[in-house]
Amino acid sequence: MRVMVTIQHPAHVHFFRHAIAELEDEGHDVHVFARDKEMALDLLDRFDIEHEVLAGTGSGLSQLARVQAVYEARLLKRARDIEPDVITAIGGVAAAHVSRLVGAKSLVFYDTEHATIIKGLAYPFAHRIATPDCYRDTIGPHQRRYPSYHELAYLHPDRFEVDESKVPEVAETDDKLVVLRLIEWGASHDVGKGGFDDVEEVVSRLEATGAEVVITAEGDFPDSLAAKQISVAPHEIHHLLGAADLFIGEGATMAAESAVLGTPAVYVNSLTMGYTDELDEEYGLLFNCNGENRHEEALETAVSLLEGDTDWAAKREALLADKVDTTDVIREQLREVTA
């Protein structure tokens, strides 16, 4: 196969990286294209994935629209040169559009029901849309459901094992460790939504339990908390999440990553997805706090979890018994859509 992969977020690098390596090992021709978003390019370099950068970044709907237009135009030019059999992506707006123009198939992976702009632009043109089986929407005959999550493409135990030696924050404290995640709220589906009310209060309440709090943040946060920002390299963040005693944050991806690693996750965001609901209701590894009182509810939940003695490893084993390695799903779906 000639495969084009498009990367527009750091999590997309993790999602596709094992599949890219295995496809290349099998002799397939893989071309990776990226947008300069947060740490995506650094991760591609770190994992030795050859790639071309097609566009920069932006925030707000107007800037994102301009960046997307540039990205699609440049991707189309490269697709005409490469003549791919399939273009694959998460979200997949550019992949779905460009594939139609060059006679290729498109394989879109997605798990975010409320991203209506992306769905509206990508789904009508995509040849196949692969979603976790907990995805709430029924899309149509091109949808394929699979029993797993995006995060298990790279955090399945066959792919990843926590190494606490890579996390100095763990070695330096005997207290329970809490990872606090703050997001920038710049994505198209974040407009008008929110998470915490007062970050300083979050840290104060959690530290009152005797826990050590470290912060990972996309944007600005209070100067008074700057000393708590972590220094873990982006490609090693999952060792921190797996070694922590609790995750609390506004980002769904990192909350789900923590949960599948067996670290209880308090997800503080007015938006929920099928996978955050399932991790909460079916497996008890994630706790959705999404209502008007989500800030206070999250703090009460977090304190209760820190003071409890739940067997989180057993909960993780129950989850893994039901789920598959998503990298295997990626490769299987690529073969099927090009058959």
Residue 93: C-alpha distances to residues 68, 143, 184, 274, 327 (Å): 9, 16, 22, 21, 21
Is the pLDDT at 56 greater than 90? The verdict is no
Assigned token pair, 253: 């991806």
- pLDDT of the residue at 194: 57
Q: What is the pLDDT of residues 326-339, one digit of tens each?
A: 999 999 999 999 99
Q: Are residues 171 and 128 in the same domain?
A: no
Average pLDDT of the residues in 172-196: 69
DSSP 141: T
- pLDDT of the residue at 270: 87
Q: Identify the CATH number of the domain in which residue 313 sits.
A: 3.40.50.2000
Minimal CA–CA distance to 5: which of 78, 89, 76?
A: 89
Q: Tell me whether residue 292 is exposed, middle or buried, using C-beta atoms within 10 angstroms of its C-beta: 0 to 12, 13 to 18, 19 or more.
A: exposed
Average pLDDT of the residues in 253-280: 96
CA 123 to chain centre: 20
Is the pLDDT at 188 greater than 50? The verdict is no
Q: Are residues 194 and 113 in the same domain?
A: no
CB 15 within 8 A of CB 150: yes
First to last CA, the chain: 10
CB 268 within 8 A of CB 196: yes
Q: Are residues 65 and 87 in the same domain?
A: yes
* Side chain identity at residue 47, one-letter code: F
- pLDDT of the residue at 256: 98
Assigned token pair, 61: 């709907």
Q: Are residues 94 and 175 in the same domain?
A: no
CA 87 to chain centre: 20
% of the chain at pLDDT higher than 90? 78
- pLDDT of the residue at 218: 78
Is the pLDDT at 57 greater than 70? The verdict is yes
Average pLDDT of the residues in 294-310: 96
Average pLDDT of the residues in 145-166: 96
Minimal CA–CA distance to 263: which of 312, 308, 307?
A: 312
Provide CB contacts within 8 A for 261, sequence distance 6+: 155, 162, 238, 241, 242, 316
- pLDDT of the residue at 185: 45
Provide CB contacts within 8 A for 123, sequence distance 6+: 96, 108, 129, 139
Q: Are residues 8 and 126 in the same domain?
A: yes
Q: Report how many helices (DSSP H) and strands (DSSP E) the chain contains, helices first.
A: 13, 12
Q: Tell me whether residue 52 is exposed, middle or buried, using C-beta atoms within 10 angstroms of its C-beta: 0 to 12, 13 to 18, 19 or more.
A: exposed
Residue 158: C-alpha distances to residues 25, 79, 202, 261, 265 (Å): 18, 33, 35, 12, 22
Q: Are residues 55 and 179 in the same domain?
A: no
Q: Are residues 134 and 173 in the same domain?
A: no
Q: How much is the pTM?
A: 0.92
DSSP assignment string, 55-103: E----SHHHHHHHHHHHHHHHHHHHHHH--SEEEEES-HHHHHHHHHHT
Phi first, then psi: give them for residue 3, nearest 5 degrees.
-120, 130
Instruction: For residues 37 and 287, give the distance between their C-alpha atoms in angstroms, rounded to a whole number.
Output: 28
Average pLDDT of the residues in 171-183: 86
CA 4 to chain centre: 20
Is the pLDDT at 93 greater than 80? The verdict is yes
Neighbour count for residue 339 (Cβ, 10 Å): 6
Place of tokens 């992969």: 5
Average pLDDT of the residues in 163-192: 73
Confidence category of residue 71, pLDDT binned at 50, 70, 90: very high
Q: Are residues 8 and 118 in the same domain?
A: yes
Q: Are residues 191 and 107 in the same domain?
A: no
Q: Are residues 146 and 228 in the same domain?
A: no
- pLDDT of the residue at 187: 46
Q: Are residues 301 and 194 in the same domain?
A: yes
- pLDDT of the residue at 323: 98
Confidence category of residue 189, pLDDT binned at 50, 70, 90: very low
- pLDDT of the residue at 171: 64
329: domain range?
2-156+324-338
Q: Are residues 228 and 143 in the same domain?
A: no
Average pLDDT of the residues in 289-309: 94
Number of residues that this document lists for the chain: 339
3-state secondary structure of 287: strand
- pLDDT of the residue at 193: 44
Average pLDDT of the residues in 314-325: 98
Q: What is the pLDDT of residues 23-50, one digit of tens each?
A: 999 999 999 999 998 789 999 999 999 9
Instruction: For residues 118 and 6, give the distance between their C-alpha atoms in angstroms, rounded to a whole number.
Output: 15
3-state secondary structure of 119: helix
Instruction: For residues 96 and 87, give the distance between their C-alpha atoms in angstroms, rounded to a whole number.
Output: 8
Is the pLDDT at 219 greater than 50? The verdict is yes
